[in-house]
Structure 1
């Protein structure tokens, strides 16, 4: 069955380059802008921003599952080494947790929006702040995997392949 898959390239991937970071940057932007618009909408008394925030949150919730699918595939092909294994496992766990948090927040936001689209309760803003914190931690872990450990970079893949000979 494995012979049906395309051969791995110099990034150790069956496609041109990593797809997970592309999709996940979209998720990061949508989730963060959703939280920012919520806070601006509440403190500047601009409830029209709540609509923009809602749709950003909804799109982020859908997109995170696409990011997770590619992230899991690419993590499986990454050949993590040393401390990068633990960081990759934590990154994966927080990624799935973020998907759950986004899904719950989207559902909660939908209920809030259907009851009164012109206001947000403070507990929801607090949950948004927690979302922002989780996203910041996740970004830090992802950056470590790329910029410190170089997973899926050509040089690291070459070294790991040479070591397996």
Structure 2
């Protein structure tokens, strides 16, 4: 069955480049922009920004599951070495947790929107700040995986292939 799969390229992927970072950057931007729109809407009393925030959260909720699917595929193909495993595992756990957290926050936001789309409780803004902190920590871990540990970069993939040949 494995002979029917496409061969892995110099990034150790069956497709040209990593897809997870592309999709996850949309999620990051949509979540952070939603929090900013909520804060601006709350403090300026511009309730139209609540609608912008809602739709960003809605699409972020869908997009994070796509990001996780590609993240799991690409993590499996990365062949992580021992120094990277703890960071990759933590990044994976937080990623799956964020999918549930974002979905729950979006659900809460949906209920708030149904009750009164022009009112947003201060507690929701507080949760947005907490969500921002978690997302930023997750970004830090993702940066470590690429820029420090070099997952799916050509030099690291070549070194791993050479190590397996010896």
TM range (shorter): over 0.9
Aligned length: 165
Matched, 1:129 2:119: no
C-alpha deviation, 1:130, in angstroms:
1.0
Stretches of structure 1 lacking an aligned partner (at least 5 in a row): none
SS in 2 for 1:80: coil
The CA distance in 1 between the partners of 2:143 and 2:103, in whole Å, is 24
CA deviations 1:32-56 (Å, max 9, x no partner) are: 0000000010011111100000000
Q: How large is the RMSD of aligned CA atoms in angstroms?
A: 0.6
| TM-score, reference length from structure 2 | 0.98
- Farther-moved stretch of structure 1 (27-36 vs 1-10): 1-10
Match of 2:152 in 1: 152
**TM-score calculated relative to the size of structure 1:** 0.99
Confirm or deny that 1:140 pairs with 2:140: yes
After superposing on structure 2, the runs of 4+ consecutive aligned residues of structure 1 that deviate more than 2 Å are none
| Ranges in structure 2 where 5+ consecutive residues have no aligned partner | none
Cα distance in 2 between the residues matched to 1:78 and 1:126 = 37
1:51-89 per-position Cα deviation (integer Å, ceiling 9, x unaligned): 000000000000000000000000000011132110000
Partners of 1:140 and 1:64 lie apart in 2 by 17
SS at match of 2:104: helix
Q: Deviations over 1:115-142 (max 9, x none)?
A: 0100101111111111101100000000
